[in-house]
Amino acid sequence: MAASVLFYRNMSVVAMSIESLPQTARARVLLADDQPHILAALELLLNNHGYQTRSVSSPAAVLAAMQGESFDAVMLDLNYTRDTTGGGEGLELLSRIRLIDDAVPLVVMTAWSSVSLAVDAMRRGASDFIQKPWDNSELLGKIREQVERCHVLRSSQHRREEESSEASEIQKGMLPSILPHIPGYDISAVTRPMHFVGADYYNVVRVSEAQVALCIADAAGKGLPGALLMANLQAAIGALIDENPQPQVLCTRLNRTLYSIMPGNKFISLFYGVLDTTTNRLTYCNAGHNPPLLLRAEGGIAELASSGAVLGHFPDWQYTQADVDLAPQDTIVLFTDGVVEAHAKDGEPFGEQRVIGHFSENHSADATSLLASVAGHCGHGFQDDATIVVLKSTRRE
Instruction: Band the pLDDT of 286: cuts 50, 70, 90.
Output: very high
Averaged pLDDT of the chain = 85
Give the number of domains in the chain. 2
pLDDT tens per residue across span 149-166:
888 887 777 776 665 566
pLDDT tens per residue across span 234-268:
888 988 998 999 999 999 999 999 999 888 788 99
Quick check: is 312 in a domain?
A: yes
User: Could you say which DSSP state residue 245 is in?
Assistant: -
Cα 358 to Cα 288: distance, rounded to the nearest angstrom: 25
C-beta separation of 353 from 174 below 8 A: no
- Of the candidates 97, 129, 163, which is a domain's last residue? 163
Triad 305, 322, 279: Cα angle to 5°: 125
Quote the pLDDT of residue 79.
78
pLDDT tens per residue across span 112-130:
656 566 677 777 778 888 8
Q: What are phi and psi of 197, to 5 degrees?
A: -130, 160
pLDDT tens per residue across span 320-349:
999 999 999 999 999 999 999 999 999 999
Cα 76 to Cα 79: distance, rounded to the nearest angstrom: 9
123 and 203 inside one domain: no
293 and 364 inside one domain: yes
C-beta separation of 301 from 294 below 8 A: yes
Q: List residues bridging with 273 in a β-sheet.
A: 214, 284
223 and 361 inside one domain: yes
C-beta separation of 97 from 124 below 8 A: no
C-beta separation of 319 from 287 below 8 A: yes
C-beta separation of 387 from 202 below 8 A: yes
CATH number of 290's domain: 3.60.40.10
9 and 147 inside one domain: yes
Instruction: Band the pLDDT of 5: cuts 50, 70, 90.
Output: very low
Quote the pLDDT of residue 19.
42
Quick check: is 246 in a domain?
A: yes
